[in-house]
A and B are shown apart, each in its own frame.
Chain A
């Protein structure tokens, strides 16, 4: 039986339920000192004086760093690249300038964390403060064109405005989303250890060990081969641990100076200003359509804030380029406003989850304006050709997602008029939305070793962030080798292993997974060679293609011959056979097909008509993520994504104080995330299947996709329940009453 496709329980489950899984803050180190960051209370200006005298005299203090004595760093490299990604270009503790509230201005090293934190409170700072710039509808008027970052900033296919100008029905609305923070359960932590030979080991909270190694190498000016990055288990990433943030560099430099290991763990509050967030957006969507709902033109423009020193773009209008067909054209554009704020970063689901809220809310408005059912409207505007690139989609099970999802949800029983469905005194609303998600393709390497006892070892420098990487890589290698999954051990998260890509954008299964499959097949092929032409070859004279592998054996079926890996290795006097996997899909990404994941999702809400409280009653998600490698972990990713979207829809909002430009609610009691009591049963189904263009494994991205379009489905359901169209996230009570 194949392991791939089976709902295998997690191979690291026992480690995780016993507390034995070792996260980056759990690594024991002799002689370790603890670091605490002191950060600025102003958002714009400079420090005039920093008095560290009392802090230096406090019990347990080893060293205090400010911009006066912090070792120098090289600038972050330009242009920005996934190969050496910095979270933000501005590196603190190098000058007196302050560009954002919460910017590190001092670093205390002490014997214990309590001592370091206490000493930090003794530091006296005088500032020269200027008025900070914040993001709002006024400052958005000063938005400028940024240089491109991940995709072209603007796009125009055909003539969108012509289609809109001549359309029978037009929707023209502005939608806004709030600043949000990842708030991974595990705080960012960096532990730096220098060995006597000037090699640096960093125990990091990272989704990209190799990118971290390259960036640290460039900024600290040490060769990459002298740096090891370790991340065996990550306590949630969601994009916020993909790039290197300044605290990692500070920890490394401080450890060098004090000549002992240093652990720098951010406080929950510090995570709001030092490690990225999702920037707010102001988006305008214009849809032009015929009376039957056929789209004639789409225009989608977005504005988002970025720091004074960086040009980070939330590509909110990206989805509009490829989601639906439009008769005459589609145009998109992005602008930014420079504000006193730390740099935003990718947050599940970057770009798409923001843009889909606007676009799929507008589609619902179009459905009501034309009287066409929302599901029918999407079926009508479905497309087999990517409107942006003109390439056909490799696979696009959108119709299946729409029809199967609607059937599972019972969409036919919905009465379309707002406020027409009730449960006692509660208003019931049902809404839906669709989604498209970019499929990323990156190179990855892996090595698979088969041992003489018939066991196998997978080694690859990818990551386990909760997505089940240890488990799914075991499944992939087991099938390619023809051994039982429990015979396969997986090693991840160390730059001494074969290099892999960042674990972001739902790319790991398709790309890192492909490298594991290739490595396992290479090891298998080496074993087949031995069986055909090695010492005392059992299959001498046969062709390689005649040999199958299963149950730890190589089998020549037509001659009823077989030999175990163990026996084959012993016979050849070998302790191992090794296979290397080198997956490089970069050329294919430019190929003739457009590869994306798709979904259709359905939400039912219950609204208290007196209090305006919105509760999610039930939710059905239908996803085309290609071939599903492990239905158990895939379902978990999907429910996690749905709940992530519930947070975006109803709860999550990082509030900015307009006077100080500080994030004001820097904790879990001020920044609300979904709790267990907020979440009903969730129903997940998978549509589509093997996509050979996406990956040799047939898999497309899933994790990010599932967090997209939850917000518009819920917003559309709220409109159906109440008759109120809320165009500003999150949907809180005052927007309904």
Chain B
């Protein structure tokens, strides 16, 4: 992307086929209908279309985790997800975690354990942290799980498990030990 393409053919057909079409997105419990191009990512739609800028673009190719949101309760990388395919699905962003002015326990724990510095990756870290606890409760093992034949429980969410499960979210300020402490505390509390 962005590199000049010497002698490359002009694909006007492709240009004509990318006209915007309406899509209805359920974001943080509110329904929004607006026009997106077929190529528009969920990340771009959230940020530019809905003004939900808490979700960050770090790499735009699914490598850093800063754009992590929940779709139907599961974490997805919104930069790798097309907006037009999310019709009818429940999308939760960082702006939707707070309930009636009360922070989510994972958000509280990130503040208490100083689980961030610059804060740019934090939305994605928090969204992953919430999902990690839900995934553990649902019995999902990880690559760090010693015995995948036994049902996994949230009590098994050791620091090693949390490190593995949070490794899709890069933090260049490198608050990793504090992020682990925050997720561990939130998991313990409930």
**Which residues from chain A sit less than 8 Å from chain B, CB to CB?**
9-10, 12-23, 25-26, 28, 36-41, 50, 54, 58-59, 105-106, 112-114, 117-118, 120-127, 182-187, 233-238, 265, 267-270, 464-468, 632-633, 635-637, 639-640, 642-644, 667-669, 673-677, 679, 681-682
- Interface residues in B, total, Cβ within 8 A: 70
Looking at the assembled complex, report how far the CB atom of A48 sits from the nearest CB atom of chain B, in whole angstroms.
10
Interface hub of A19, A633, A682 (most chain B Cβ within 10 A): A19
Q: Is the CB of B2 closer than 8 A to any CB of chain A?
A: yes
Which of these, A17, A20, A269, A633, contacts B111 with CB under 8 Å?
A: A17
**Which A residues are in CB contact (< 8 Å) with B8?**
121-122, 124
Whether the pair A676, B179 counts as a contact (CB closer than 8 A) is yes
Interface hub of B18, B51, B56, B66 (most chain A Cβ within 10 A): B56
Closest B residue to A675 by CB, please name it: B167
Tell me the chain B residues, 31-48 only, with Cβ under 8 Å from chain A: 37, 39-40, 44, 47-48
Tell me the chain B residues, 159-188 only, with Cβ under 8 Å from chain A: 162-164, 166-167, 169-180
Known contacts: A14-B103, A636-B178. The answer to whether A125 contacts B122 by CB under 8 A is: no
Q: Is the CB of B123 closer than 8 A to any CB of chain A?
A: yes
Expressed in whole angstroms, the Cα–Cα distance for A640 and B177 within the complex equals 9
Q: Is the CB of B97 closer than 8 A to any CB of chain A?
A: yes
Whether the pair A267, B118 counts as a contact (CB closer than 8 A) is no
Known contacts: A114-B39, A681-B177. The answer to whether A121 contacts B118 by CB under 8 A is: no
Whether the pair B111, A10 counts as a contact (CB closer than 8 A) is yes
**Which B residues are in CB contact (< 8 Å) with A643?**
174, 176
**Which B residues are in CB contact (< 8 Å) with A640?**
117, 173-175
Whether the pair A18, B103 counts as a contact (CB closer than 8 A) is yes
**Which residues from chain B sit less than 8 Å from chain A, CB to CB?**
1-8, 10, 12, 15, 18, 37, 39-40, 44, 47-48, 51-61, 63-64, 66, 93-95, 97-98, 103, 107, 110-112, 114, 116-123, 126, 144, 162-164, 166-167, 169-180
Which of these, A9, A16, A267, A270, contacts B122 with CB under 8 Å?
A: A16
Which of these, B3, B6, B121, contacts A185 with CB under 8 Å?
A: B121
**Which B residues are in CB contact (< 8 Å) with A637?**
117
Looking at the assembled complex, report how far the CB atom of A663 sits from the nearest CB atom of chain B, in whole angstroms.
13
Whether the pair A679, B174 counts as a contact (CB closer than 8 A) is yes
Looking at the assembled complex, report how far the CB atom of B131 sits from the nearest CB atom of chain A, in whole angstroms.
14
Expressed in whole angstroms, the Cα–Cα distance for A358 and B64 within the complex equals 32
Whether the pair B60, A268 counts as a contact (CB closer than 8 A) is yes
Expressed in whole angstroms, the Cα–Cα distance for A185 and B123 within the complex equals 12
**Which B residues are in CB contact (< 8 Å) with A36?**
2
Which of these, A20, A25, A114, A185, contacts B171 with CB under 8 Å?
A: A185
Name the prevailing secondary structure of the A interface residues.
Answer: loop
Expressed in whole angstroms, the Cα–Cα distance for A238 and B172 within the complex equals 9
12 contacts between A and B (CB under 8 A): A13-B110, A16-B116, A16-B119, A17-B122, A106-B4, A183-B172, A184-B118, A235-B119, A466-B173, A636-B114, A642-B174, A674-B174
Whether the pair A267, B1 counts as a contact (CB closer than 8 A) is yes
**Which A residues are in CB contact (< 8 Å) with B114?**
9-10, 632-633, 635-636
Looking at the assembled complex, report how far the CB atom of A24 sits from the nearest CB atom of chain B, in whole angstroms.
11
**Which A residues are in CB contact (< 8 Å) with B15?**
58-59, 118
**Which B residues are in CB contact (< 8 Å) with A639?**
174-178
Looking at the assembled complex, report how far the CB atom of B37 sits from the nearest CB atom of chain A, in whole angstroms.
6
Q: Sort A-B residue pairs by CB-CB distance and give the 4 closest, nearest first.
A: A19-B54, A235-B120, A466-B118, A466-B117
**Which A residues are in CB contact (< 8 Å) with B12?**
54
Whether the pair B121, A682 counts as a contact (CB closer than 8 A) is no
Expressed in whole angstroms, the Cα–Cα distance for A726 and B175 within the complex equals 28
**Which A residues are in CB contact (< 8 Å) with B97?**
18
Known contacts: A38-B4, A185-B66. The answer to whether A25 contacts B57 by CB under 8 A is: yes
Known contacts: A16-B119, A185-B66. The answer to whether A673 contacts B173 by CB under 8 A is: no
Known contacts: A9-B114, A18-B98, A124-B5. The answer to whether A674 contacts B64 by CB under 8 A is: no
Whether the pair A127, B44 counts as a contact (CB closer than 8 A) is no
Whether the pair A668, B64 counts as a contact (CB closer than 8 A) is yes
Whether the pair A669, B175 counts as a contact (CB closer than 8 A) is no
Which of these, B60, B112, B120, contacts A267 with CB under 8 Å?
A: B60
Whether the pair B1, A121 counts as a contact (CB closer than 8 A) is yes
Expressed in whole angstroms, the Cα–Cα distance for A234 and B18 within the complex equals 34
Closest A residue to B54 by CB, please name it: A19
18 more A-B residue pairs beyond the given contacts A17-B94, A186-B118, with a C-beta to C-beta distance below 8 A: A17-B126, A23-B56, A58-B15, A114-B44, A121-B1, A122-B8, A124-B4, A183-B172, A185-B121, A233-B120, A235-B120, A236-B173, A636-B114, A640-B174, A640-B175, A643-B176, A676-B164, A676-B179
Looking at the assembled complex, report how far the CB atom of B159 sits from the nearest CB atom of chain A, in whole angstroms.
8
Whether the pair A679, B4 counts as a contact (CB closer than 8 A) is no
Known contacts: A117-B1, A125-B6, A673-B170. The answer to whether A185 contacts B177 by CB under 8 A is: no
Known contacts: A185-B170, A235-B56, A235-B118. The answer to whether A39 contacts B3 by CB under 8 A is: yes
Whether the pair A682, B177 counts as a contact (CB closer than 8 A) is yes
Expressed in whole angstroms, the Cα–Cα distance for A632 and B95 within the complex equals 26
Expressed in whole angstroms, the Cα–Cα distance for A293 and B169 within the complex equals 46
Closest B residue to A271 by CB, please name it: B59
**Which A residues are in CB contact (< 8 Å) with B144?**
677
Whether the pair A674, B176 counts as a contact (CB closer than 8 A) is yes
**Which B residues are in CB contact (< 8 Å) with A25?**
53, 57
Whether the pair B177, A236 counts as a contact (CB closer than 8 A) is no
Expressed in whole angstroms, the Cα–Cα distance for A640 and B115 within the complex equals 11
Whether the pair A19, B177 counts as a contact (CB closer than 8 A) is no
